[in-house]
Structure 1
Amino acid sequence: MPRTDPRESVHKRAPTMDGVPNVTRADAVAAVRNPLAFIAARWTPHPRTVQRAALAPIVMSVIIVVTGGAVRLTGSGLGCPTWPKCTDDSLTTTSEMGFHGIIEFGNRMLTYVLCAAVGWAIIAARSQKPYRRSLTLLGWAQFWVVMSNAVLGGIVVLVGLNPYTVAAHFVATTALLTLATLMWQRTREGDTAPRPLVGKSVQQLVWVMVVVSALLVVVGTVVTGAGPHAGDSSDVPRMPVDWEMISKAHAVLAWIVVTLTFALWFVLKAVDAPKGPLARTRDLFLVLLAQGAIGYVQYFTDLPEVLVGLHMFGSCLVWIAVLRVLLALRERPEETVPGLPSQEYDATSVSMAGPR
């Protein structure tokens, strides 16, 4: 019967009753020094898990926009009159602050949920094998946008809902939505060089549409900043522009985007483009029609709060749809290992890539 060297047992981890090895002191130190690398060395998520993790910040960004709109439309913008505390004496809302305090504080708490969603996306991207630095960087970019926008949100409260800071707050959220959508798309692609699916003239047409759509979003914040929904029952200053004029300019930009989308669909059909760009263009056109209908109804019905909230939700969907059209114009095939199907490659890439 072979003997066991007692010195070897010192270096072995004794399993617990559940079969899980004990965490050594070295493991604990490694987890503290670089928790992402510690997790990545011990966990390889399925590609679908990474995709769902990247989708979470998109969903939460849209929810933040909708709940932020609810804060504004219910006049709860100063429900918590200071920041980072809710009041000078309380971190949370108090019973004396009533409904408005609950709405404003609840929206603040959703920022932590958004941070958790972005953190989950970063962890999943960092743990994917093989390691994809571009995905991790997109996750960290979202994190810093969230942090800066949280500070900007505090400034909005401290300056009494200044309409320019409110507009900047929404634009920053749109930037977060852009990064999240890009990361979600990249989780479903490889890291090879992008291959265009359409000609240069079509790409230029789409870029014009993207620029006009971005301008549409910015002008929409001016419409809101000049409109009647100031976010609080007190006398909040509005942007010194003619609301009727800026609303009509917003409508003109919307019609330009619709026209460009319609033209793009015909061009894609004429050049026999792949199904991907055609499907994304069709989706954008349908979203634009719904958003336009809501916009005109709210304009002619004196901006009821429910329709304004739906219009804010629609603006997120429009921007996401525009980005998806842009990203559908190229493809990045996944890299494969000769002799291995792509699913096997995902499963065996841990040993091939190793932790980083």
Structure 2
Amino acid sequence: MPKTLNPLQLVADRWQPSARFVERAALACVVMSVVIVVTGGAVRLTQSGLGCPTWPTCTEDSLTPTPAMGINGIIEFTNRMLTYVLCAVVGVAITAARARDPRRRSLTRLGWAQFWIVAANGIIGGITVLTGLNPYIVAAHFLAATSLLTVAVVMWLRAREGDAEPRDVVPRPVRHIGWALVVTTALLILAGTAVTGSGQHAGDASRDVHRIPLDWREVTQLHADFVFVVVGLVVALWFVLRAVRAPATPRRRVAELFVVLMLQGVVGYVQYFNDSPEIVVGTHMLGSCLVWIAVLRVFLSLRERGEAVAVPQPSGSGAQEPVRADEPTPAGR
């Protein structure tokens, strides 16, 4: 009976990507995940949320925007098309992870998880249009995009390390602070979606878009309260890491997170005291992604899984894949 051909296996039989290529493919997924969030925000901030008034086509009679729809139709449709670019980038990451030898199933699974999140969020985006920019669906759309960013970051960081059992590089109570930081930041992002759903930028100025029935200033205050808690946890974690003489990597990651938080705080205050100008709101959305990435990097730096295994070379070839120079060995951490 003929053997069933697996397209990914056929690629793996003919192409052997380097560890750095897999890592860069995973990083490209992170970049595209951020781009999708920022361009999605641009759709809302330019009042283009219903630039294409239906889904999956742009109008009842046209797949693409018509000249009569103007710039709003172009902006909304362009954001839809970027989803296909994202799918292509994720596809490259999946293929590279599958072709890598030795095979790392964890990376392949993370790649496929991104694919299914993209597919699900595409449907959520369609529901967003069909429900006339319902703020709760808009919030779900953003949270799904954040979930995609989470998986993309985890894949990127996992591509830089091995598959050994995780080993804490700090005492267990310090890991608990890391968990508290992740949970509190997630609540901060969730509060941010409530600010968006009740705030001034509904996404379309041509019709009455339903808003979350909350005072956006009070919700913004709650959002700011979470910021103070997150900053407090970051400062506490930095001092604790110094006290337990933690390796340099987690201390550096915490310092990077603190800088990102301070910059994001400045943007947030400029946004609040200047009546939320569109360009500043968009910058704040970009900052939200950068904060979340930095938090995940802090959390995952509190444990290690060894070095990635090099590709076995044919005997006598004398060739070896270069060792990463920018990452310390387990003994040196």
What TM-score do you get using the length of structure 2 for normalisation?
0.92
| Aligned 8 A contact 2:102 2:309 in 1 | no
| Aligned 8 A contact 1:192 1:333 in 2 | yes
CA RMSD of aligned residues (A): 1.8
- Counterpart AA for 1:226: S
Whether 1:245 and 2:218 are equivalent positions in the alignment is yes
SS in 2 for 1:241: coil
Equivalent residue, structure 2, for 1:280: 253
Over residues 37-66 of structure 1, what are the superposed CA-to-partner deviations in whole Å (9 max), with x where a residue is unaligned?
110111110111000001111100100111
| Aligned 8 A contact 2:133 2:209 in 1 | yes
- Please report how far the alpha carbon of residue 336 of structure 1 lies from its aligned counterpart in structure 2 after TM superposition: 5.6
| Aligned 8 A contact 1:164 1:225 in 2 | yes
- Counterpart AA for 1:285: F
Mean alpha-carbon deviation: is it higher for 265-274 or for 165-174? Answer: 265-274
| Aligned 8 A contact 2:118 2:148 in 1 | yes
- Counterpart AA for 1:37: Q
Over residues 302-351 of structure 1, what are the superposed CA-to-partner deviations in whole Å (9 max), with x where a residue is unaligned?
000000000000000000000000010011113669x99xx96659xxxx
- Counterpart AA for 2:259: L
Whether 1:174 and 2:146 are equivalent positions in the alignment is yes
Whether 1:315 and 2:288 are equivalent positions in the alignment is yes
Whether 1:190 and 2:186 are equivalent positions in the alignment is no
- Structure 1 unaligned regions, length at least 5: 1-25, 348-356
Over residues 109-130 of structure 1, what are the superposed CA-to-partner deviations in whole Å (9 max), with x where a residue is unaligned?
0000000111010000000000
Equivalent residue, structure 2, for 1:91: 63
SS in 2 for 1:55: helix
Give me the whole-angstrom Cα distance separating, in 1, the residues matched to 2:319 and 2:191: 49
Over residues 219-252 of structure 1, what are the superposed CA-to-partner deviations in whole Å (9 max), with x where a residue is unaligned?
1000000001000012101101111111000000
- Structure 2 unaligned regions, length at least 5: 323-333
Structure index of larger Rg: 1
Equivalent residue, structure 2, for 1:22: none
- Please report how far the alpha carbon of residue 194 of structure 1 lies from its aligned counterpart in structure 2 after TM superposition: 1.2
SS in 2 for 1:103: helix
Equivalent residue, structure 2, for 1:218: 190
- Counterpart AA for 1:58: V
Equivalent residue, structure 2, for 1:63: 35
Give me the whole-angstrom Cα distance separating, in 1, the residues matched to 2:163 and 2:15: 21
Whether 1:149 and 2:132 are equivalent positions in the alignment is no
SS in 2 for 1:292: helix
- Counterpart AA for 2:75: I
Equivalent residue, structure 1, for 2:275: 302
Give me the whole-angstrom Cα distance separating, in 2, the residues matched to 1:293 and 1:336: 42
- Please report how far the alpha carbon of residue 153 of structure 1 lies from its aligned counterpart in structure 2 after TM superposition: 0.2
Equivalent residue, structure 1, for 2:84: 112
| Aligned 8 A contact 2:150 2:293 in 1 | yes
- Please report how far the alpha carbon of residue 208 of structure 1 lies from its aligned counterpart in structure 2 after TM superposition: 0.5
Give the ranges of 4+ consecutive aligned residues of structure 1 lying more than 3 Å apart after TM superposition.
343-347
Give me the whole-angstrom Cα distance separating, in 2, the residues matched to 1:222 and 1:108: 24
| Aligned 8 A contact 1:129 1:346 in 2 | no
Equivalent residue, structure 1, for 2:181: 209
Q: Could you tell me which of 79, 89, 100 is aligned with 2:72?
A: 100
Equivalent residue, structure 1, for 2:12: 40
Give me the whole-angstrom Cα distance separating, in 1, the residues matched to 2:237 and 2:26: 29
- Counterpart AA for 2:163: D
What TM-score do you get using the length of structure 1 for normalisation?
0.86
Give me the whole-angstrom Cα distance separating, in 2, the residues matched to 1:321 and 1:145: 21
| Aligned 8 A contact 1:336 1:345 in 2 | no
